[in-house]
Structures are given as C-alpha cells and as structure tokens.
Structure 1
C-alpha cells in the first residue's frame, strides 16, 4: 500500500473532510464547518490529506496558537480500513516537516488517555510527553465518545528533540521496567486500588486493553476507569511527574518525576 500526503486548500475537498470526520468519530453534530476550516487555513492553518491512490483515507488539521512557535494539532484521523497502515504516521511526519519549515518548534494536541492504541502511537511512534490532564475537556460528546466525560491528556511534541526525530523514523526499544512500582491494582479489567503515596523516580499506571469496547458494552465500568485515571493523573502530575512512555501487554503508562 502506497500512501500519499497532500496539502488541501480546495473547498470541494474540504467538504470530503467533513464526511471523513463523521466516518472516523461517528458524530455528525460535532464536525468543523467548511467555512471555519477555510478561515483557519487562510490564517496559517494546516490541512493535509492521506490518499490511498485517489481515495481520501485520513487527514490532519491544525492551526497557530498564541505562542508563535507552537502549532495546535486539532484533529488527526484515519478511516478504520487504514488503521495499522503507514497513513497516520505519514500524516504526522508531513505535519512535523510543514511546521519546522514555518518556524514552529512544538506541536500540541489532546487525546483520551484511556485509549491505548492512540497513546501507544503518540508515545512510541512520535515521542510526545504530557504533564497536563484536562477533566471533561470538551464537555459531553457523542459518537464513539458517548457516555463518559471527555477527559484529555495535553500532548507536547518537541519537534527538534532527538527523542522525536529518532522515534518518528526508527523503531524504539521498549523501556526497562524491572523494579518500577505500579500505582494501581487491576484485576480482570477492573480498577481495584490506587496508591497515592509513592515517592519514587518512576512509576507505572495500568489502563484497560480496550477502553472503547468497555465504554460501549459496560458504561458503568468505563466511568469507573475514568474516575480512577482522573484521580491518578491529577495527583501525580501535580507532584511533578510527567508521562514519558506507553507500553503494551498490559497497557501501562510510565511516568518520571521532573521535580
């Protein structure tokens, strides 16, 4: 499969982006109006599409912020048929090159910290970190997000860092975790306990293997996970920890203390 990335300015193609938003996130009431998107592009925003031959299968959209060297990446999405392909990574590579060519040093965005596939991609493939957690960031949402507060982690991608460069172009070894304590106890995908008294350089926090599936099948358990993770991140991020890695089997965040 050969994916091509193209920058988009054509209003007719932008109409396709709206359809793509609905296909990816399942909420026709929460799409960006084409006119609004065009206005943001005229003011220095980026819209690029991922094409499989002539078919639009994904996109990335971002815009300037109040900080001259920071770009906000508002949406990156790929159709389910093309998840696991190079499409998402190529979109982010394109975004990185585009931003660097315009003087940006940093790209930021939000993501749901309970969705392990996204977390793995953000940390392992891109090299982001986060030290900010925003409860109910967007208020009530629909589509794939129906039924839970829209808590989000605030990802920071340092474009010129060696960490980002190495990860976006080469596979990285898994971190050594022997002896690193885990702050929570999980049994059969249920959060059972949380230790808030750890004073260690590094610690782990486990999340479900597929929280999206839990949200669809067992909303009560999904909300328990939201409350559990919110309490954890609020506590440890406020004490100087930063999320620096995400490992699989089981899904766990690795946090390091900065101060």
Structure 2
C-alpha cells in the first residue's frame, strides 16, 4: 500500500484525525475525544500532528504530541498513536513514530516519551524491542482504576546502549496481578525495563541499570 505519512493541515484533515482517534479506541463519550482545534494549536506551537493517508486520501493512522520539560530536560511527549484496524500490521505505526521523532528533533528535543499498557504485550514488544525505547517509570492507575501504565523514554539521536543486567520478571502471560507486582518491585529499585518476550503461557521482562 502506497501510504503517505506527513504533518496534517487544514480543518478537514484534523477532523478526520479526531474521528479516527475515537473510532480506534471505541470512545463514545465526548469528553474522551480530541479537539481538532487543539490539534491545530499543537501543530503551530512545537507539537506534532501527523497522519498516514492511503492512496485515496483516507486517514488510516494518526499520532499527536507536544513539547514538555522534566527537571530541565526538554522532551517530546507522544500522547497517542492510532492505526485503523484494517491497516494494522503494515508498519504504519513505526512510520508514524519515525515521523513524529523527526518533528521532535526539530524542536530541540533529545528524547520522546509516552505511556503504554504494560499488559498489552504486543505494544510492549513494539516499544521496547522494535523501537528500542526504555521503560523508566511504573504509573499505577494512571487514568483511574485499572489503567496501569509504563512511561518510556526513547533516545531520538542514538541507539539504546546496553546497561547492567538487573534481573528478569517471569510470570504467567494472563496473570496481571503477578505482572503488576513484579513491575512495581523492579521499578522501585531504579531498574529500567528494556525487553520482553512472551508466548501463549509465559511472559519474561528484562531489566537493566545504567552503567555506573
């Protein structure tokens, strides 16, 4: 499929992006949507508003984010990235993240951050193993009850350097309670989550510490 990934422009494209966002997540409540006007403001103020369009011009992927600062470090925060169900598995998610990274570099950011559901193992594999991002913080009930998230940081200029092994977490793939307890325990020591493998029955998470 000849997909074009680029910055979005104009009310119709921003509205289509907002519509895709709600469709992919299955949101019906207005408060869970994203405003096209907000996207326009982000685009004009060091944010990222990027879409993937098929040959017919239909929006099949979308991501957006904004500049942020943590203890003096400028980074780009990726709020969301979505791909239409019919277009998943075609590498569009990776292309969106790469385009977003390019936009972030233009703002002076050296890293990009986002959160993901640590029990969605396909997402964990993509973030940690494919992109090479690093899990830096466990955020229990981030959006309310039952919405645990892991915050990752992705170096936009260099590949992730190997750290000092800091143990592994092994648990049944369907046992969220065991995974949650293990993630809390490892992150509490200051370790970083760098890899994951899983099959139908087991999940193994790999942790590292920074080189001293």
Give the TM interval when normalised to the shorter protein: 0.7 to 0.9
| Post-superposition CA distance 1:94-122 (Å, at most 9, x none) | 11122223311000000000001111111
* 2:143 is the alignment partner of 1:138: yes
Q: Where does residue 148 of structure 2 map in the other structure?
A: 151
Match of 1:242 in 2: 192
Map 1:102-117 to 2 at 5 A: 102-117=107-122
2:133 maps to which of 98, 105, 128: 128
Cα offset for 1:239?
Answer: 1.1
Which residue matches 1:88? 93
Q: What is the distance in 1 between the residues matched to 2:183 and 2:198?
A: 19
Contact residue 169 and residue 182 of structure 2 kept, 8 A: no
Q: Does 1:252 align with 2:193?
A: no
The counterpart of 2:167, out of the listed 202, 212, 227, is 202
Correspondent of 2:45 among 29, 43, 46: 43
- What is the SS of the residue equivalent to 2:185? helix
TM-score by length of 1: 0.72
Pair 1:201–1:139, CA change in 2 (3 A): closer
* SS of the residue 1:136 aligns to: coil
Greater strand share, 1 or 2?
Answer: 2
Q: Deviations over 1:132-186 (max 9, x none)?
A: 011111125xxxxxxxx1110001101112239xxxxxxxxxxxxxxxxxxxxxx
> Contact (CA 8 Å) 1:114, 1:207: kept in 2 or not?
no
The aligned residue for residue 83 of structure 2 is: 78
Deviations 1:50-81 (A, max 9, x none): 11212210111001113563000001110111
Q: Which residue of 2 aligns with 1:179?
A: none
- The answer to whether residue 13 in structure 2 is matched with residue 61 in structure 1 is no
Residues of 2 paired with 1:9 and 1:61: CA distance?
13
Aligned residues: 202
Mapped partners of 2:112, 2:195: distance in 1: 18
Give secondary structure in 2 for the equivalent of 1:40. helix
Task: Specify which of 52, 55, 75 is matched with residue 54 of structure 2.
Answer: 52
Unmatched runs of 5 consecutive residues or more in structure 2 = none
Quick check: 1:130–1:243 contact (8 Å CA) kept in 2?
yes
SS at match of 1:66: strand
Q: CA deviation at 1:18?
A: 1.8
User: How far apart, CA to CA, are the structure 2 residues paired with 1:155 and 1:203?
Assistant: 18
How far is 1:41 from its partner? Answer: 2.4
Q: Radius of gyration: which is bigger? A: 1
Instruction: Measure, in 1, the Cα distance between the counterparts of 2:172 and 2:92.
Output: 26
